Structure 1
Amino acid sequence: MKITVTSNKGAGIFGDEAESMLRDLYDAEKFFIRITDSNGQRHDAEFDLTGVQNTIDSVASACGWTTLDLTQDDYRAIQMMLNAGGFEAGKPDGIWGAGSRSAMRDFQEKQGLTASGAPNRETLQALGVE
C-alpha cells in the first residue's frame, strides 16, 4: 500500500487501495499503525474505531462506491432485481457500469434513500436482500 504525503500536515491513500482499506476497516474495532523511522526506531499508535461505519458509509456514498465486497455474480443479481423492478440496469452482466448506476440511483431516489448509484447495505435491504 502506498501512502502519499499530501502536505506537511497530511498524507493519504488513493484510488482502489483506499476503497479496499476502508472496506477492511469497516468492521474493525481498532486500527494499529507501526512506523519505523530512518534510525530504526519503531513508533506505534492504536485508534478506537467505534462508530467508524457511519463515516465510511458517508464517504462511500459521496464517492459512489460500495463498502460491500461484492462479486460479479452479486452485481449480476442486483442488476436482475433492478430490471425486474422496472429500473433499466441493462443486460445483467455483472459489470457495474453507467446503466447500472443510473438504475440504482433511480431506485434509491424512489425509496427515499441517498442516491449514490452504488449498492449499499440500506439499498440492498430495500431490494429485499438480507
Structure 2
Amino acid sequence: MSQAGVEVAGRDWGLFARAAGYGAAAAFALFYVLHLGVGTSPRQASEVAFPLAALPFAVGLVGWSGVLMSGDAIEGFSTELGVSEGWTAESGRQAMALLIAFGLGGMVGAAVAGAPYGV
C-alpha cells in the first residue's frame, strides 16, 4: 500500500489535543446543562455525561483494533472494487485515534465537572 499518508507526514499531535479539548468541553457543558439548566442532581448529571463521553472512546478502541487487524485488507478490497480509493488503513487508524482522544477528553471533562460536588 502507499506510504503517502500519516505514517510519512508524521502525527499531528495538535489535532489530537484539540479533539480531547472538544470532548472535555462538551462533557463539561453537558454536565452543567443537565445540572443547572434541567435541574437534575449532580450525581444524575454525572451518570449521563460520563457514559456519553465513554461511548466514542469505546467505539474508537474497538474500531482502532479492527482497522489495525484488517485495515490493509479493507484498503486493498475497496480499491479493487473501485468503491473508495481515498480510504487508507493509516487514515482509518487516525480517525479511530481521534475518537479515542475525544472520548478520553470527555471522560476527564465529566469527572472535572462533577468533582466539586463529590461525584
Query: For the superposition of Structure 1 and Structure 2, which TM-score range results when normalised by the shorter chain?
Result: under 0.3
Structure holding more strand per residue? 1
> Given the two structures, how large is their TM-score scaled by the length of structure 1?
0.22
Structure holding more helix per residue? 2
Question: Structure with the greater relative contact order (CA < 8 A, sep ≥ 6): 1 or 2?
Answer: 2
> Given the two structures, how large is their TM-score scaled by the length of structure 2?
0.23
